[in-house]
Structures are given as C-alpha cells and as structure tokens.
Amino acid sequence: MGLAFAPAAPLSAFAAEQAQIPRLLLPPSGPLPAEGRYLADDQLKFIVDHEGERTRLRFISGDEIFYLSSEPAPLGGRVLKYDTGEVALQVTGWGGVTLYTADDKSGVPAELADDCVDDIEPAPVAGKDLKAFAARLSQTMDTAFDFAVGFTADWDDLASADSEKERGLAVDAMRNTARAVALITGGPKRAAIAERFHLVRVVEAAQPGLKLQEGTLTISYAPQLGPSARPSSLAITKVLEAAF
C-alpha cells in the first residue's frame, strides 16, 4: 500500500510576503574563555579548561572542579553558570573575561596569564584509601570548623577495581561537602547547621541530587551522566542554608 500525500496548500498572501523578506543573520555564539590560568586583582586566581561541551573551572586555592553550563549573552557575549544557576564567568564578544564569586558579586576582570592547565585534576583516591580519605575530611571539618560530620557509603563497592568512575564522583561529593562546610562557617546559619547536620550519605542514583532529612544529607551521584554528575559545594551550601 502506498502512502498518499496531500498537495501542499498555496502560500497565503501574508506568508508569501514574509518569504520575500531577507532573513537577518544571527551573530555567532559568543566565545568560550580560553584554556589556561587566569589573574584577577593581580593574583593567580583560577584555571579554565574544556572537556567536551563543558567548561571546567578550578580555583587555585582548592581542589573542587566546577562544571559550568553556558548560554549566549547580549552583544555576542557568553555567560557561564554554576550548577546553582549563579554566574561564574562572563565573556564579552571580544573575549574579555569577568569572574563572579561570593566575595565579588559585581564581578572582577580577569586576564589570561598562561595556557598551562596540566594540574586541574586533583589526585585520584585509590579504593583502599577511600575510608581513610573520608575520615580525614571529617577530622578537618571537626578541627577547623567545629562541625561533627561523618560520611557513609557502600565502601566495599566503591573500593572495587571496576568502580573507578563511581569512586571519583563519590570522592567529589565528599570533598565538596567539606568545602561547603567551610563556606557555611562565615554565614549567619553556621551555629544552627552545626548543631543539627551530622551525617552525609553518598549514594549512586539515576540523577545527581541532594536531600536533607533529620540531620542527614543524602548526596546522589550519577556515573552514567559523566564526571559533572554530582552537586557542587555551592549547591550543597544552598540546600543546607535553606533548611535551617
């Protein structure tokens, strides 16, 4: 049986008129920030590189890697955002870069210092060292910030030789929690959070996510979605501060 197609309807007078109007060419998407180390306020501040379609940002002072989403901005620019939706970097149409942080909400100009990005990845944690790594993070939070927070996970599964991808995401989730605690320390809800937040459960799931219930924060990571599929320290901070 053949398929029958109705003849195309004639163009209306309006559609025919519109077809005669030349289309305006949209400007190309704004540039992404160049890979390398960047200066801001005359200090070496952060590193940028690109992994597939994602831009990665790491501050010189820490181990966390932020995976930034990207969208066009006016005048041929581009805006790059954290997983919280907050702006991290803005790039002008001619390539100028502005950095936004909690301390510089209005933005500070940044300039490329060099194109070296060799050390953006923190050292991986071996399976046999995972529990000790988690214990050190807990000790640091207790000693430095007076936060008694422990970690729980499927240690045996994460320590297996074929769980490298999962282990990397779990390590990121725990490391980002410690960074979130450091951020909370200077905030107005520090005492309330320290009193009631005591355990982090790290689990694999179909989607990355955060859930806080009765003092336990469950952090979900999703290996099938790639290395960005775990919450950042900023997302963890936001959930904790909103809950108390």
Read off the pLDDT of residues 142-176 as tens digits, 9 standing for 90 and up: 999 999 999 999 999 999 989 999 999 999 999 99
Query: Tokens 């336990």 map to which residue?
Result: 216
Task: Verify that 141 and 78 share a domain, yes or no.
Answer: no
**103 and 181 both lie in a single domain:** no
Residue 120 domain flag: no
On whether the CB atoms of residues 87 and 102 are closer than 8 A, the answer is: no
Inside any domain, residue 5: no
Number of domains in the chain: 2
* Whether residue 23 has pLDDT greater than 60: no
In a domain, 58, yes or no: yes
Residue 28 lies in a domain: no
Count CA atoms within 13 Å of residue 197 on its CB side.
31
Q: What is the reported pTM? A: 0.85
Give the pLDDT score at 17: 42
CA distance 157 to 167: 9
Is 142 found in the same domain as 85? no
Same domain, 168 and 83: no
Supply the range of the domain harboring residue 184: 127-243
State the Cα–Cα distance between residues 213 and 224, nearest whole angstrom.
26
Is residue 212 over pLDDT 50?
yes
Residue 226 domain flag: yes
Specify the pLDDT at position 30: 64
Q: Is residue 29 part of a domain?
A: no
User: Looking at the domain assignment, is residue 53 inside a domain?
Assistant: yes
Residues 83 and 168 in one domain: no
Asked if residue 188 belongs to a domain, the reply is yes
Q: Are residues 105 and 155 in the same domain?
A: no
- How far apart, in whole angstroms, are the C-alpha atoms of residue 53 and residue 32? 10
Q: Report percent pLDDT > 90 for the chain.
A: 75
For residue 103, give the 3-state DSSP assignment.
Answer: coil
- Same domain, yes or no, for 138 and 75? no
In this prediction, residue 18 carries a pLDDT of 42
Q: Please give the average per-residue pLDDT across 191-202, as a whole number.
A: 97
Please tell me whether residues 98 and 133 are part of one structural domain. Answer: no
SS3 at position 38: strand
How far apart are the C-alpha atoms of 90 and 107, rounded to whole Å?
9
Say yes or no: 133 and 85 in one domain: no
Mean pLDDT across the stretch 92-116? 92
Domain boundary among 83, 114, 145: 114
**Phi first, then psi: what are they for 233, rounded to 5°?**
-60, -35
175: tokens are 């490391």
